[in-house]
Amino acid sequence: MTQTLTTKVLIIGAGTGGYVAGIRCGQLGLDTVLVDGGDGLGGTCLNVGCIPSKAIIHAASKFETVSKAAAGGTLGITASKPAIDLAQTTAWKDGIVRKLNAGVAALLKKSKVKVIKGWANFTDAKTCTVKTADGDITISAEHVILATGSEPVELPFLKFGGDVISSTEALSLDRVPGKLVVVGGGYIGLELGIAFRKLGAEVAIVEMADRLLPLYDKALTDPVQKWLEKHGVELHLGAKAGSIEKGQLNITTKDGTALKLKADKVLVTVGRRPRTQGWGLENMGVAMAGPFVKIDDRCATSMRNVWAVGDLTGEPMLAHKGSAQGEVVAEVIAGHNKVFNPVTIAAVCFTEPEIVSAGLGPLDVEGRDDVITAVFPLAAIGRALAIEAGEDGGFVRVLASKSDHRLLGVQAVGQHVAEMSNSFAQMLEMGAVLEDVAGVIHVHPTLGEAFHEASLRALGHAIHI
């Protein structure tokens, strides 16, 4: 027997865009139903992406620190050779995920959002049927928010299954693979490849482009590549992956040579695509922008009162973008005058070392003579040296307009620089000029002093260099 349900707002997808939209709708007094048919409350980010990957990356760094201490000592500290029980580490990671799941559930309940677990299928723009464990529920809504997220891209010759894994399976391994081959040198592949190298795996990376992280400029990615080379990670750049046979991955190198790489596991991280299949998008009459759902600056689709947020709407496919869009849509539905028009959406690669980018970078202003660029090395920052974060070529870089000194972009590479990303975004969002950053008394000793000094240097009077 099919139940029927009518609501003011229906949200499809419980990721960072969907659940935040739900909480904000509830706070604004809107009758809201949230259908969760994917990875669980919190979506990819909380369950099989951002949070669990950072937990594994953190554990890997801890293991690396003890390993260094066992290999002759570090900072005067010595230790016995460590061992890793990855099953226990994974169980610890799963505990974090469960705790955050429960937190999201409690927040949704507090906001009086009805959560339905099941997969939705739309028959028209405002009506869907959800298959649940207790039977089907047909839901009609005045407003629909699409927040279905994204999924890993699968290669036709390396289909997921067995020893060919996506990031989801990589985060649930119960033992460290002896030899891990990563196909794709973007941020997901590098983050996990570096983590497993720290845990003791032999790692090879196969990337079609001529360099790693091709969306970033070379100065930002060079310290990461140097870390990989120093730690024995095998790099095959400009190379193409092929099929896997008998524990060996076929690749073709840049010069056309055929190689076989031994692989206990092959981690395929060649990108993500919006989740547009299997829930009736084709029956909703919304316009598309390539593979993404087309939206305006209110996150409205071409169909009246149908909205879309997060990875479904295009690049950058970042959790914090989806959350911000979710808030905007909730407030628009509630009658508030809101638009989604950020100055910047900062991005972080949790590699070794970390990379942060906000606003325009050198590739965006190439050939322009109206831009000031200044770089300040972390090696000149006391705090960086004290926590071993100043010896890997890290730096903070600012780009500003020559005419009025308005900040155009800020980038950084180095250990722990992810924690500066919000400061970079805040200054850009507020329309700060170099003098604004220079006029803020930055706390000593912190890594943030490098942002201050880079701005001073752009003005022609850095103090500590």
Q: What are the start-end ranges of the H helices in 274-390?
A: 319-333, 382-386
- Rounded to whole angstroms, the maximal C-alpha distance in the chain is 75
d(CA 351, CA 361): 19
DSSP secondary structure letters along 92-118: HHHHHHHHHHHHHHHHHHHTTPEEEES
| Nearest C-alpha neighbor of 273 from the set 225, 311, 236, 328 | 311
Instruction: Identify whether the C-beta of residue 56 lies closer than 8 Å to the C-beta of residue 93.
Output: yes
Instruction: Identify whether the C-beta of residue 379 lies closer than 8 Å to the C-beta of residue 385.
Output: yes
* Among 143, 231, 442, 444, the one annotated catalytic: 444
Q: Structure tokens of 319?
A: 């959790």
Please indicate whether residue 452 is annotated as part of the active site: no
| Nearest C-alpha neighbor of 264 from the set 162, 189, 137, 408 | 162
d(CA 294, CA 272): 18
Return the DSSP state at 134: T
| Nearest C-alpha neighbor of 147 from the set 54, 29, 23 | 23
Instruction: Identify whether the C-beta of residue 50 lies closer than 8 Å to the C-beta of residue 317.
Output: no
Q: Where are the beta strands (DSSP E) in 57-161?
A: 114-117, 119-124, 127-132, 135-146, 150-152
Q: Structure tokens of 415?
A: 């250990």
Instruction: Identify whether the C-beta of residue 34 lies closer than 8 Å to the C-beta of residue 114.
Output: yes
Catalytic residues: 444
